[in-house]
Structure 1
Amino acid sequence: MSVLPDPGASRAVLVGTSRYQHLEQLPAVSNNVQALAGLLSSPLSLQLPDQHVTVVENPAVAHTVVGAVRQAAAEATDTLIVYFAGHGLVDSQDALSLALTDTEYGRIETGLPYDWLRQVLLLDSRAERHVVILDCCYSGLALGRMSASPGLADQAAVEGSFLLAAAAETRTALAPVGNTYTAFTGALLDTLRHGIPGGPTLLDLGALYRHLRLTLEARGFPVPQARDRNSGAQVALGRNQADLPAPPVTTSPGAGSGERPWPDPRSIRTVTGFFTALADVRVISGLTHRAVSQRSAGRISAGTVGRLLNRSTLPTTWGTMAAYLSACGLPEDQITQWQAVWQELRAEATSAEADAMGPAVPPRRGPDSGRAWQRTFSVFRRERG
């Protein structure tokens, strides 16, 4: 079953090297990284908070990249996305190395061995799922020619992950001169923005890979490759924008709700994820704030809908959210699931607040406490007497 990651428990690290001291320049890579960062934070994709997306452009040394990935790996508990665009090198041992700004061909110490990142994902990551996207080339090829050996996916494989690699053969136009993006990342961005007509409700990595393969092959570009480990292909990077339902014709709450791809509350782990999915409910319903208010029979106003969806803390009572979900058309069994998630997150927040306050400190009751009270009372009587 495809699932959208909880944005509050997920992280992304986007690395791009567009400027080189010794290799051909790749100006489109900078556009790749900035556009993907904006997309991952937008409603068209995962709606990751800005602070959960780390962009590393033109790193000069390997530890800059490794440090960023290690930090994200320690913070993410749901999904960790690692993206690299730039030149790639393959050494005499057929190991993949990612080219940095000062990388020189034939000098492996100037690059970033992919295996270093792989070890971070394997050993240091708390995330349940990993997504690795590699849009890289070998040096020695002119700008606009990127390549990858047939074994690239095997080299870069990480247990519990989905690897999406760019070209699997040496062909031109992977990074066409003058294009805004590289061919592979450009097709990925276009798919996330506009969707797949007739495709699935969620753009999981399996569907994305199949669509990108057909699209790029039809354009005469190198064909991408993928490797799925432990159902990583079921991780979605957004909703299919070409498959969003039209606004409901009926005005009765719940009508036609079974046909709508509602967010699954069981995938929510954080308060951020809760409100992201809550806002997604209205988008899927096709209703405006005013329409939600009208369908609630006056229980919530349009302004209340807006305030609810812009909160950062959970309401202390359930009534408003129940009215909102019902007005959007969710069936009762799903509303019950939402309530259970709300109760769980409320309990976690209460527990966290109690831990932050620390244990209550009881009054000091030493062996002399009684005598000290008697002395104080005696002084009080003398002063009053």
Structure 2
Amino acid sequence: MFERLAELEGKYIQLADQINDPDVIANQTKWRQLMKEYSDMTPLMEGYQEYQQLTATIEESLEMLAEKLDDEMRELVKEELSESKSRLVELEKEVTILLLPKDPNDDKNVIVEIRGGAGGDEAALFAGDLFRMYARYADARRWKTEIMNISESDLGGYKEVSFMITGKGAYSRLKYESGVHRVQRIPTTESGGRIHTSTVTVAVMPEAEALDVQIDMNDVRIDVFRASGNGGQCVNTTDSAVRMTHLPTGITVSCQNEKSQLKNKDQALKVLYARLYAREREAYDAAISAERKSQVGTGDRSERIRTYNFPQGRVTDHRIGLTLHKIESILGGDLDEVMNALVTTDQMEKMKASGFAE
């Protein structure tokens, strides 16, 4: 592993020279590309530098222990040697993770779509609960949440809500949320006190740019219509809502949250880009890994990934067998324990696939 880092060090030094080259700086597109590559390599190189320092310290400590030392000095050297060896083990794990193939979308913003599934009004109410959960999680990480489209139910839930979360690393954390979320609780409309099971689907897509997927606008039909629901007199009396249909694929996107038709068109186009990119990526992933399934999910949005059981106060993620008895805290946006477990499992699977772990 560290032999590979020694090879990468030469490329890192070369990148450092390039980003300080006046000719490269004059070409901002190329400079930004090289800067990103340099930035991505920096944690690896810092780890390699620490590795070199630790191995030198260990070698020096062993040489000193071979000499005649008084008892106090010998104990100090032994202590330093033990600490250096322990840190070296930790460092190897850290660097191994950094060497794993990185998802190119991890640093992107995300578009999240939540839809009520089986369960009618109760499913719509839980869709609202999940939206607030993600919004609070985003707020805790200082990410920005922007509603793109919303369709309310009669009881105040959401039949459907789509929103963008903007922030560094948003996709790297939220990508594991795609799938079917199941809720078990007594609905407010249930007079007999019976527990009902309802489902909500969540789709998490990286924000796509024009460079990620090409759209011929001649293939897109755009319809405008009068928005519905709560939004004020202006929203409900003008044709500000926008529906885009991508004719080759049949993908349809609607946005009506903004009062401006132009803004709704912009939002709809973002969602369309994201859906087409997700479609292309899923097809590519299926082609190269049809035989391989990750422990954290296949990406199939029809699979049940998590259950929220209110009577027992528990949340269970079925992909990794994790159960936490703190449902109110999780729905309040405290998702880090679940997210960290999913990330760790994903990393372990990638380490096995890369030959770094047994």
In terms of fraction of residues, the more strand-rich structure is: 2
Please give the TM-score of this superposition, normalised by the length of structure 1: 0.23
Q: Larger Rg: 1 or 2?
A: 1
Larger fraction in helix: 2
